[in-house]
Chain A
């Protein structure tokens, strides 16, 4: 009996000591982790709105531009990031998260549209679990750059804004290049992005009319 008690006390003390150490490390780094996540989100938002002008900004610059130009609001369940013009008077565009199922796991993306909701300003697929080098290439610049200036005025429920088709000739205006060797990921992206964009575009237009 005594030895069981001793074991229990020993286990308890070890657990206590180690939990305290772990918690201390966690608290010491908590701020840094949160800042990292915040900067990453802000960097993505500036990127899809074209505010970073294709340059690598430092974290300080990101926070400065973000605080100056972006206001956060709600659009249904999602956060809407409203971008204001340089003088702060007119709305320059909207950024919003568009998430959906990829092939292996969820794909998190950020998209931006202009103030009149007529075309896409940019898309960035910033977190996913697709295979690196294959489906994972959706996070590369050449892929997301194709979405710039894509028109959102083609109407109709069954009429997607864009198609992802293999590279080659004979392409229509809204045929974008799919990722070679990753047709499943491309199909998934095409499906959820078209759907989400249609929903958000509708909500944004309603919001403007109010």
Chain B
């Protein structure tokens, strides 16, 4: 997989290989938070940032610490602890130095630790044998892809909910899932755009 350029990987992660729409990762916060556009945007920005950074951190730790000492099987624990630690660090830094930003993003940060998409990016990066640069491109791309998906859905939800009369039982998660399905179908069309992945 060393032949794929980081730029290609970055765009593939946003469009053709969208982590939410093709790999189903990060669905839980997606369903609950996509109700409001503003919070969706805040969360997604935080997710994108953490995704790119932890992909780099985990890549370094895996290839320079775990692999040389044959501790690969501990990667799940190590990755999740690094992610949790990183999120904590970001939270404290923002709170200390950028209080206005903290006011907007603060409440979303603890949620990020349990976002499967972030751990997912780190695990895919190991399985697909990405280099450090590729991992960062893939992580950042996936984050932006997630952002794109969640914003699109929350915009559609805002148009639908309360304004359209839906059959019983279809409100809430059911209609959101079906709209996500249609969006996922739409994103498949992008697959003609990028050649290798």
Direct interface between A and B, CB < 8 A: yes
A184 contact set on B, CB distance < 8 A = 191-192, 195
The yes or no answer to A19 lying at the interface (CB within 8 A) is yes
From residue A65, how far is it (CB to closest CB) to chain B in Å? Answer: 31
Contact of A101 among B77, B127, B191, B197 (CB under 8 A): B197
Count A/B pairs, Cβ under 8 Å: 30
A104 contact set on B, CB distance < 8 A = 17, 197
Number of interface residues of B (CB under 8 A): 15
At the interface, is chain B mostly helix, strand, loop or mixed? loop
B73 contact set on A, CB distance < 8 A = 22-23, 26
A26 contact set on B, CB distance < 8 A = 73
| A170 CA / B196 CA spacing, docked (Å) | 29
The yes or no answer to A133 lying at the interface (CB within 8 A) is no
From residue A27, how far is it (CB to closest CB) to chain B in Å? Answer: 10
The yes or no answer to A106 lying at the interface (CB within 8 A) is yes
The yes or no answer to A50 lying at the interface (CB within 8 A) is no
Contacting pair B128 A103 (CB below 8 A): no
Contacting pair B74 A101 (CB below 8 A): no
Chain A residues numbered 82-132 whose CB sits less than 8 Å from any CB in chain B: 100-101, 103-106, 129
The yes or no answer to A188 lying at the interface (CB within 8 A) is yes
| A105 CA / B17 CA spacing, docked (Å) | 11
B129 contact set on A, CB distance < 8 A = 106
Task: Using known A-B contacts A19-B74, A22-B73, A184-B191, determine if residue A106 contacts B1 with beta carbons closer than 8 Å.
Answer: yes
Contacting pair B1 A105 (CB below 8 A): yes
Contact of B74 among A22, A129, A187 (CB under 8 A): A22
| A187 CA / B195 CA spacing, docked (Å) | 9
A22 contact set on B, CB distance < 8 A = 73-74
Contacting pair B3 A101 (CB below 8 A): yes
| A86 CA / B145 CA spacing, docked (Å) | 56
Over the window 97-129 of chain B, the binary record of Cβ atoms lying under 8 Å from chain A Cβ atoms (1 yes, 0 no) is: 000000000000000000000000000000111
A101 contact set on B, CB distance < 8 A = 1, 3-4, 196-197
Contacting pair B197 A105 (CB below 8 A): yes
Q: Which of B1, B74, B191, B196 has the most CB of A within 10 A?
A: B196
A188 contact set on B, CB distance < 8 A = 196
From residue A23, how far is it (CB to closest CB) to chain B in Å? Answer: 8
From residue A151, how far is it (CB to closest CB) to chain B in Å? Answer: 27
Known pairs A103-B197, A106-B128 / 6 extra A-B pairs, C-beta < 8 Å: A19-B77, A22-B74, A26-B73, A101-B197, A104-B17, A184-B195
Task: Show 6 residue pairs from A and B whose CB-CB distance is below 8 angstroms, ordered by the A residue.
Answer: A101-B1, A101-B196, A103-B196, A103-B197, A105-B1, A184-B192
